[in-house]
């Protein structure tokens, strides 16, 4: 009986972590919501208005990224590097990652550093690709491949070729 109970508790914990039914609920649960979202269709319409920052890891960025996105990373993010590349703190910036959780943390760092127009891409590169917008590989050629960050996150990518190493 005890073993069944422990299994049940473990199963419920996994469901809570990975059993989210929508990206909206996932972001609602994990984000602080103090950075405004920009939705992929809005970004697509006004693409040239924004500087895009990719807050994923290098191996993810090399598989695919949004056109002209600047790699800033997550684990080794440096606000000083961003300040050197983007000295104007009034610049319209969109930060993205796979789904929008890591990017919110990086966007918060930008906001704390004085950047005033920072947005988080809702649903990240997954939602971008799910809406059939183009992504580019490390040679800056269009690709259908998307790094899925982890095996459990691949469920959020509906379009494209799922890559995970």
The arithmetic mean of pLDDT across residues 69-89, rounded, is: 97
Q: What's the domain range around 70?
A: 22-163
Say what the pTM is. Answer: 0.85
Question: How many structural domains are present in the chain?
Answer: 1
**Which CATH number fits the domain that encloses residue 150?**
3.40.250.10
Q: Is 46 part of a structural domain of the chain?
A: yes
Query: 14 lies in a domain?
Result: no
Does residue 13 sit within a domain? no
pLDDT attached to residue 165? 75
Helix, strand and coil percent figures for the chain, each rounded to 5? 40, 20, 40
Residue 121 near residue 95 (C-beta atoms within 8 A):
yes
Contact 43, 126 (CB under 8 A): no
Instruction: Give pLDDT tens digits for 106-163.
Output: 999 999 999 999 999 999 999 999 999 999 999 999 999 999 999 989 999 999 999 9
For 4-39, what is each residue's pLDDT tens digit? 433 433 433 344 444 557 888 988 888 788 999 999
Q: How far apart, in whole angstroms, are the C-alpha atoms of residue 11 and residue 5? A: 10
Q: CA torsion sign, 88 to 53 to 114 to 119?
A: positive
Task: Say if 93 falls within a structural domain.
Answer: yes
């Amino acid at each position: 009986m005890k073993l069944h109970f422990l299994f049940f508790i473990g199963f419920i914990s996994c469901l809570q972590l990975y059993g989210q039914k929508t990206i909206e609920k996932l972001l609602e649960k994990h984000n602080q919501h103090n950075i405004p979202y920009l939705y992929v269709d809005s970004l697509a319409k006004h693409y040239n208005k924004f500087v895009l920052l990719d807050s994923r890891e290098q191996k993810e960025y090399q598989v695919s990224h949004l056109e002209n996105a600047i790699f800033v990373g997550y684990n080794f993010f440096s606000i000083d590097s961003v300040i050197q590349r983007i000295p104007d703190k009034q610049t319209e910036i969109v930060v993205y990652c796979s789904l929008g959780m890591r990017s919110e943390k990086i966007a918060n760092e930008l906001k704390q550093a004085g950047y005033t127009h920072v947005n988080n891409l809702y649903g990240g590169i997954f939602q971008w690709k799910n809406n059939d917008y183009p992504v580019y590989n490390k040679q800056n050629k269009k690709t259908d491949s998307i790094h899925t960050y982890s095996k459990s996150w691949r469920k959020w990518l509906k379009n494209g070729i799922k890559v995970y190493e």
